[in-house]
Structure 1
């Protein structure tokens, strides 16, 4: 089963989520503050593929905000899918901001069976070379994980 979910944290915080036992693929379009999505991972124990699209709301101007919409806080416990099932992660519109890097680091460190992390970059806050060097320094829970910048 595959879901494509477009939502904001304000809607998801108040919700009690069911367990999605058959969910294997998930695409999340994150328009702004998205501190809720690790809770969704906790309810998806068999998730194998995750796509995070960091799209901005159409009304945002490129120069009008500091892109604080991610607001990443590591979950207290690692979602079981990250430890044992999650094989591919694709991130679209990756800028290389501090919170985005925290997410990449967390997923690389905790993803014990992760095979690939693909980052499609857009409007980077640094050069691709610097971003690549930072990513190479992160510990990897999976020794077979391939990281690719596009």
Structure 2
């Protein structure tokens, strides 16, 4: 067993390191570990490193490719925050997370890989930020987050399955990006299954769309069959940045929430700025749109509606 300086609290390894640990390590004082472009010779090296830090609280993993080890297993009983960014290269592996004390989880940039992310044990999770993980082959990732009080999601329901029966009983704050295919249908599911939701923030593109990029347009907003409990009893704040009034489904979503959120106190819409001379003729149309939205009969008589262009 390798024993390091027992006073070491933070360790950062970076720049294409290949780590080989033929024996166990022991760093009882280590609280923070950063692995930036670090690969391991084998799975045993990962296990020896993580288990050798019994008081580890913060783990940051930033991986490039190729990776020798496909499946990165994280078993850390004391871990409180975990951030994973992976730029690809996982053909058939991924991550397994077992962290019963975990409170904050961030997973992003699973690009061009067919790996999975199995979240086995995170009962204390408070906040999770899940972005750009369309290549994760895992139907339970959302279900694994059901203890969270705050969620940030940048997902498409066409790529991530919503597990049947998943209820987010603790969720009070939800942020969702509106740039993925049929995001509005995932929103409907989240509203329907988050009975205590108090704050909803939708985040669109802050700048006009680049028409040369592949952009999913159109679609149909499938509103919940019954008005969700969160709209009837709990939702108080609704914020939409990058609101695109020209897209029909966005108008439908905005109208639905205003018509049904009976406890809503504040609804703030930040529309896309008109910054090009050729778009100046849209000013009048924008004004009409704002009047139309302002004219929606709101379920909450005390709702304060704000538009920022």
- The residue that corresponds to 1:82 in the other structure is 231
Residue of structure 1 aligned with 2:300, choices 142, 145, 150? 142
Contact 1:105 1:138 in 2 (8 A): yes
**Structure 2: segments with no counterpart, 5+ residues:** 1-148
State the 1:12 CA deviation.
3.8
Contact 2:179 2:205 in 1 (8 A): yes
State the 1:87 CA deviation.
0.5
Q: 1:17 to 1:50 in 2, by over 3 A?
A: farther
- Which protein has the bigger helix share? 1
Q: 1:113 to 1:15 in 2, by over 3 A?
A: same
TM-score for both structures, normalised by structure 1: 0.84
Residue of structure 2 aligned with 1:29, choices 170, 177, 192? 177
State the 1:70 CA deviation.
5.9
Q: Secondary structure at the match of 2:158?
A: helix
Q: Which has the higher mean CA deviation after the structures are superposed, 137-146 or 28-37? A: 28-37
Q: 1:98 to 1:47 in 2, by over 3 A?
A: same
Q: 1:70 to 1:89 in 2, by over 3 A?
A: farther
Alignment of 1:49-64 (within 5 A): 49-55=199-205, 61-62=210-211
Q: 1:47 to 1:14 in 2, by over 3 A?
A: closer
Partner Cα separation in structure 2 for residue 49 and residue 129 of structure 1: 27
How many residues are treated as equivalent by the alignment?
A: 147
Partner Cα separation in structure 2 for residue 82 and residue 12 of structure 1: 25
Q: 1:48 to 1:117 in 2, by over 3 A?
A: same
Residue of structure 2 aligned with 1:112, choices 262, 278, 281? 262
Q: Which has the higher mean CA deviation after the structures are superposed, 95-104 or 66-75? A: 66-75
- The residue that corresponds to 2:118 in the other structure is none
State the 1:146 CA deviation.
1.1
Residue of structure 1 aligned with 2:163, choices 15, 37, 40? 15
- The residue that corresponds to 2:190 in the other structure is 40
Q: Does 2:150 match 1:2?
A: yes
TM-score for both structures, normalised by structure 2: 0.43
State the superposition RMSD in angstroms. Answer: 2.5
- Which protein has the bigger strand share? 2
Contact 2:218 2:248 in 1 (8 A): no
Q: Secondary structure at the match of 2:159?
A: helix
State the 1:50 CA deviation.
0.4
Residue of structure 2 aligned with 1:71, choices 199, 220, 230? 220
